[in-house]
Amino acid sequence: MSKQKISFEAINGWRPKLVMFDLDGTLIDTMGHFADLASELIARDYGMPRDQARRRYLETSGIPLRQQLEVIFPEHQQNDATGNEYESRKGVFCTEATMDESTVAALQSLRDRGYSLVVSSNSAQHFVDDFAQRAPVNFDLALGFGSGLAKGESHVEQVERHLEVRAADTLFVGDSIKDGELAHGCGQRFAGVVGTFERQTFLENYGAMTVVDCIADLAEILEA
């Protein structure tokens, strides 16, 4: 994506009715583990140096690994097998990951102020369900990948159908460049969370917008 192709306004002064959160790398700190696993498999199966494999994984994050592999290695016969192994092995990180105390407090504060909260992830639905069941904060919907659902348009349609909130009244919060592309395509506002990508990378791709270091910072902006 070329620089400045997409432009997002900062959310200061605008209030959404509902906030959708990406999961991995946004609410829970799993991206480092996922990147290590993916780079191990890519180096083994495609012969790419591991540091390069890790970089390419992070650059294309925000979609399932099978789709990332299709971006990195188009139509490669190994893509299905590597993607399936990744999904089967990532489970240990998904089932053990929890939100830190500041994130929990920020989400609860948003709920107390009347915001609806939704998880929108491209991790398998059963991983997202498990996370939501363990979470100390109630989410209005927990949406994952599978059964025709995926982060982006189909998740937004679920929000519109079940919670009766228009895409234009929602804010998507994520840690990847792909998250911003998906939000833009659905007519949502977007806020980036530093971690997987640096603040400057978000700004170079999306122009003036809201970028935060953590969910607690986002809550302060929305509650101001």
Per-residue pLDDT tens over the stretch 102-121: 999 999 999 999 999 999 99
Write down the pLDDT at residue 217.
Answer: 96
Contact 218, 212 (CB under 8 A): yes
Write down the pLDDT at residue 13.
Answer: 84
Taking only the tens place, the pLDDT of each residue in 152-172 is 999 999 999 999 999 999 999
CA distance 32 to 24: 10
Q: What is the pTM of this model?
A: 0.89
Q: Is 222 exposed, middle or buried (0-12, 13-18, 19+ CB in 10 A)?
A: buried
Write down the pLDDT at residue 133.
Answer: 95
Q: Is the pLDDT of residue 2 over 50?
A: no
Q: Which residues of 142-169 are buried (b: 16+ CB within 10 A; e: fewer)?
A: bbbbeeebbbbeebbeebeeeeebebeb
For residue 63, give every residue at least 6 positions away whose Cβ sits within 8 Å of its Cβ, in sequence order, or none.
122, 151, 178
Question: What is the pLDDT of the chain when averaged over all its residues?
Answer: 93
Write down the pLDDT at residue 177.
Answer: 93
Contact 116, 18 (CB under 8 A): yes
Q: Is the pLDDT of residue 6 over 70?
A: yes
Q: Is 92 exposed, middle or buried (0-12, 13-18, 19+ CB in 10 A)?
A: exposed
Q: Is the pLDDT of residue 189 over 50?
A: yes
CA atoms within 13 A on the CB side of 186: 29
Write down the pLDDT at residue 211.
Answer: 96
Q: Is the pLDDT of residue 5 over 90?
A: no
% of the chain residues with pLDDT over 70: 98
Q: Is the pLDDT of residue 3 over 50?
A: no
**Both tokens of residue 90?**
């990532």
Taking only the tens place, the pLDDT of each residue in 7-42 is 898 898 899 999 999 999 999 998 888 999 999 999
Give SS3 for 150: coil
Name the strand (E) or helix (H) holding 141.
strand 141-145
Taking only the tens place, the pLDDT of each residue in 39-91 is 999 999 999 999 999 999 999 988 889 999 999 999 999 999 999 999 889 88
Taking only the tens place, the pLDDT of each residue in 138-150 is 999 999 998 899 9
Q: Find the mean pLDDT for residues 185-211.
A: 93
Ordered strands of the 18-21 beta sheet? 141-145, 116-124, 18-21, 170-174, 189-193, 210-212
